[in-house]
Structure 1
Amino acid sequence: MELLQYFKRLKWEFLFVTFLIVINAGFLTLAGISSANALSAVAKLKAERFFMWVALMGGAYIFYAIVNCLVNVEQTRLAQNVDKLIRNDIAQDLSQTSYSGFHQQTVATYNSWLTNDITTINNFGVEDFMMIIRQISEIVFGMLTLAYFNVSLVVTVIILTIIMGVVPNLFSKILAKRSLEYTHANERLVNSINDVLNGFNTLFLANLPQTIVKKINGASDDVKKHALNYSKTAGITQAITNGLAFISQVIILGQTGWLILHQLTPVGTISGAQFFASTIFAELSGISFNWQEFKSVKPIIEKFKTIPLKTVDGALPADFKLSNLELDKVSYQYSGQDKPIFENLNLNFKLKNKYILMGDSAEFDFWLT
């Protein structure tokens, strides 16, 4: 994925945020284990152990809140640096394109790339990928904890995980298509706004001020249409994954109850199983949806690569240096005219000197410049 290349270029910042996310998932897992063990201690009427686990759970939640604050700050820093790199790459390509290459797109389109599309990449790319890392961390810790309670719970989770991973992939292509259509609609909106505002004087003189309203409303309706199309597709995907998650939680809870009734696991397992099953399957449904959204930014980044760069043949030689400019007996005559504008013109422009060309309108000074 193209976005992963930007994470690679910011690997130390990316690894630091990942480290904080994993640590935070560990604190959340510790809180869940403490809750389950506290319930088991109550069932055995062991007050001292009960209060010990309650205190440990409280401490875990406090550290979770502190680290979560750090995660938010560092993730924002990472996202802004990714934005800067993407904008820099677009700017570099624009600086290396030809005149005709630049004008293959409108200025408003480039403006949309550098603003609206960057925001989309932030929301569906950077944020979703970091969310996936957090979800994977919590799933891994949760499955290890369930294995501690009873290995059979992990086997059930793995089977249900496979099912949850396959179903949402059916919507990946349509979701990516809807995302790209939405960004193109945003481009058209920016183009329409620029066109009507730049043409205000003409519309005012022609007594057509309502054209501004008509054009902007039309482009807004276009954006609204594609935003709703994306929302519908994303909503269906999320509804299916959430439904699978809820059913999976019920299955794990039922299995845990059966294990407790057959005295194969402590009573506190019911609390731990409920906590970790809800965490695991909620995060699994989130991963499925977030991964589809993350993949939907790929065509957006690929779109940035459509800026044509200058060919090697059109580039200046590596040993090119500026020097003096000399005109030796140069003549010029417009076709269809009998008299040349000038003939046998000799001029010598020295490097780093300044010159002024003066003459009447439409004389040779205009042609020469």
Structure 2
Amino acid sequence: MTFRQYLFRLKWRFGLFILMYGVMIAALTAVSVFTGNMITALTQFKVNAFVTAAIVMVVATILQLIVQTLVNIYQISLQRRLNNDIRTEITKSIAKMPFEQYHSRSDAVYTSWMTNDVNTINTQGLRNVACLIQASWQVVLSIFVLLTYDASLFITTLVCAVLLITVPMIYRKKLSAAAATWSQENEKLTNRLTDILEGFNTLFMANRRHVMVERVQQASDDAGHAQVGYIQFNMATQFLINLVNLGSQLFLLIQAGLLAYNHIIPVGAVVTIHSVAGTTFSGLTLMSFALTTVKSVAPIFDKFAKAVPAQQEAKKPVTPLTEAIKLQNVTFTYPHKKEPVINDLNMTLQANQKVALVGPSGRGKTTLLRLISDVLADYRGEITWDGHNYRQLDPRSLRDQITYIEQAPYIFNDTLRFNLTLGRQVDDSVLQQAIKGAQLTEFMKHQAQGLDTVLEHNGGDLSGGQKQRIALARGLIRQSRLIISDEGTAALDAKAGLSIEKLLVSLPKTTLIMVTHNLRREIKDQLDRVITV
């Protein structure tokens, strides 16, 4: 979506915003007109006309101040809604991304989109749209006032207006390019800051914490250079506009003075015209600058648009596994790698069997699990689920049949209930059954708030075994009949690891595929197959 499309979504609110600006600028213009009328009345010694003009000017000033306050408040509300819409659309695009597309960028890049880029849209986009609205009202109302005095004033204003609008074109493309560079550098900054801060423990133990300071300083400096580059073009554009603005106001003032000298307009009108000219050319200056600046955010929306995944065609829904998963002549090579990590693999995994994949690191065990889970799709060969080709199956429906337990399952900074259900509506009976099945009953006894206990970011207040049991409970709630464990117990102590593995191999009517570098004898005896990769 473009910036204009986002604003059109808010058309009724945006229309009210435009109207409020119209009332404010009309009141401001009235102040200028009646100030001139006051001076004209004084030169003609008309007391009643002077008092009337003064009263109207005061009322118009008060109205202008009230509406300006309301406009400022309303703009913040409009900005909030716009920010919500932009972040929501970005998140919708992210949520639809295939696994590989999402991981083509780091998490920090997406964070930068929803923070740095949205802030840039606020400062360079919406605020300048507000400036455009204000400037448009200023120009229209000011020209109307000038026409009531003399048509020649309108002609002069028109010529100067063309100059004010065309001059900034010199830097428009450069300004857009500089804005795109600044956005990219903000992404890099967020990425580099995240990287260095997550490495605190490593640097702490190595007594290399000063590296954090050096890296942050360098990253900040690089991003700062891009910002300076943008501001330089911005200021150069503003300087040219202001120069033309000043010359235009001066020329119109001289013209008004000559008209008054020749008794074509009253003396007080010179004051009004000077004020209105300032408003007109300030409005045109603002309009010219705002147009250029608003266009500079276009590359950000182009970047968002390119991240929208292609529409997927409807595919077959997947039912629980009853026969087997088969891989036939499967070859997979990671992007930017020359050699395949899996080459011409043939394998059959029977339903309801408990299978362990063993072998040295780097032999493709995790890749194989990701292929079975339909996380990696760019492979050669054929993978089937009960005889149905993976490429003809609905990926979402397929993932509904699978519980994937990683070495370090992610825990959200949310309630225990959310971490178990991931936002699904689940009956308490099903939830309690999953808690019991994952051996979380004892853990629950120590949670004062029960399922409403809020867990720390990534389970900072949990042990490795507790995280694994929560991940398992997620699968039991979904009633998945295929559980994939990728070194799921590697980070646990021997007792906790054995407990989780015993639980996995004992699940009835469930297919288990587990990767392990430490196949315990107690577990091996309960497996149907051990496959060396």
Q: If the length of structure 2 is used for normalisation, what is the TM-score?
A: 0.63
Q: Deviations over 1:194-248 (max 9, x none)?
A: 0011112222233321211111000111121111111111111101100110111
Within 5 Å, which residues of 2 pair with 1:4-15?
4-15=4-15
Whether contact under 8 Å (1:330, 1:343) holds in the other structure is: yes
C-alpha displacement of 1:357: 3.0
Match of 2:94 in 1: 94
Please give the alpha-carbon distance, in whole angstroms, between the structure 2 residues aligned to 1:110 and 1:329. 35
**SS of the residue 1:135 aligns to:** helix
RMSD over aligned CA atoms reads: 2.7
Match of 1:325 in 2: 321
Change (3 A) 1:353 1:152: closer
Match of 2:195 in 1: 195
Whether contact under 8 Å (2:117, 2:300) holds in the other structure is: yes
C-alpha displacement of 1:329: 11
**SS of the residue 2:276 aligns to:** helix
Code of the aligned partner of 1:188:
K
Match of 1:357 in 2: 504
Whether contact under 8 Å (1:357, 1:365) holds in the other structure is: no
Change (3 A) 1:209 1:47: same
Please give the alpha-carbon distance, in whole angstroms, between the structure 2 residues aligned to 1:264 and 1:47. 23
Match of 2:32 in 1: 32
Code of the aligned partner of 2:323:
L
Identity between Structure 1 and Structure 2 (%): 28
Match of 1:270 in 2: 270
**SS of the residue 2:267 aligns to:** coil
Greater CA drift, 212-221 or 198-207: 198-207
Change (3 A) 1:44 1:86: same
Within 5 Å, which residues of 2 pair with 1:79-90?
79-90=79-90
Change (3 A) 1:250 1:90: same
Q: Deviations over 1:163-192 (max 9, x none)?
A: 111111111000111111111111111111
**SS of the residue 1:326 aligns to:** coil
**SS of the residue 2:322 aligns to:** strand
**SS of the residue 1:55 aligns to:** helix
C-alpha displacement of 1:308: 5.0
Q: Deviations over 1:279-317 (max 9, x none)?
A: 11111111111111100000011111222515525x643
Match of 2:444 in 1: none
Structure 1, unaligned runs of 5 or more: 332-341
Change (3 A) 1:344 1:176: closer
**SS of the residue 2:306 aligns to:** coil
Please give the alpha-carbon distance, in whole angstroms, between the structure 1 residues aligned to 2:348 and 2:215. 53
Change (3 A) 1:366 1:143: farther
Structure 2, unaligned runs of 5 or more: 328-346, 354-400, 402-475, 482-502, 507-515
Within 5 Å, which residues of 2 pair with 1:28-107?
28-107=28-107
Within 5 Å, which residues of 2 pair with 1:1-369?
2-307=2-307, 309=309, 312=312, 316-317=315-316, 320=317, 323-327=319-323, 347=352, 357-358=504-505, 361-362=518-519, 363=524, 364=527
C-alpha displacement of 1:134: 0.8
Q: Deviations over 1:68-114 (max 9, x none)?
A: 11111111111111111110110000010001100111110100100
Equivalent pairs counted in the alignment come to 355
Whether contact under 8 Å (1:98, 1:310) holds in the other structure is: no
Code of the aligned partner of 2:139:
I
Structure with greater strand percent: 2
Code of the aligned partner of 2:34:
S
Match of 1:335 in 2: none
Please give the alpha-carbon distance, in whole angstroms, between the structure 2 residues aligned to 1:329 and 1:266. 93
Please give the alpha-carbon distance, in whole angstroms, between the structure 2 residues aligned to 1:29 and 1:65. 13
C-alpha displacement of 1:328: 5.8
Whether contact under 8 Å (1:179, 1:297) holds in the other structure is: yes
Please give the alpha-carbon distance, in whole angstroms, between the structure 2 residues aligned to 1:345 and 1:28. 80
RCO greater where, 1 or 2, for CA within 8 Å and sep 6 or more? 1
Structure with greater helix percent: 1
C-alpha displacement of 1:354: 7.1
C-alpha displacement of 1:51: 0.9
**SS of the residue 2:72 aligns to:** helix
Change (3 A) 1:59 1:307: same
Please give the alpha-carbon distance, in whole angstroms, between the structure 2 residues aligned to 1:234 and 1:35. 35
Change (3 A) 1:343 1:224: closer
Q: If the length of structure 1 is used for normalisation, what is the TM-score?
A: 0.89
C-alpha displacement of 1:259: 0.5
C-alpha displacement of 1:346: 5.5
Please give the alpha-carbon distance, in whole angstroms, between the structure 2 residues aligned to 1:367 and 1:310. 39
Whether contact under 8 Å (1:196, 1:215) holds in the other structure is: yes
Greater CA drift, 322-331 or 206-215: 322-331
Please give the alpha-carbon distance, in whole angstroms, between the structure 2 residues aligned to 1:366 and 1:233. 67
Change (3 A) 1:173 1:45: same
C-alpha displacement of 1:193: 0.7
Whether contact under 8 Å (1:41, 1:47) holds in the other structure is: yes
Code of the aligned partner of 1:325:
L
Q: Deviations over 1:110-133 (max 9, x none)?
A: 001000110100111111011111
Please give the alpha-carbon distance, in whole angstroms, between the structure 2 residues aligned to 1:367 and 1:32. 89
Change (3 A) 1:256 1:130: same
Please give the alpha-carbon distance, in whole angstroms, between the structure 2 residues aligned to 1:121 and 1:366. 57
Please give the alpha-carbon distance, in whole angstroms, between the structure 1 residues aligned to 2:153 and 2:104. 58
| Greater Rg by CA | 2
Please give the alpha-carbon distance, in whole angstroms, between the structure 2 residues aligned to 1:27 and 1:330. 76
**SS of the residue 2:307 aligns to:** coil
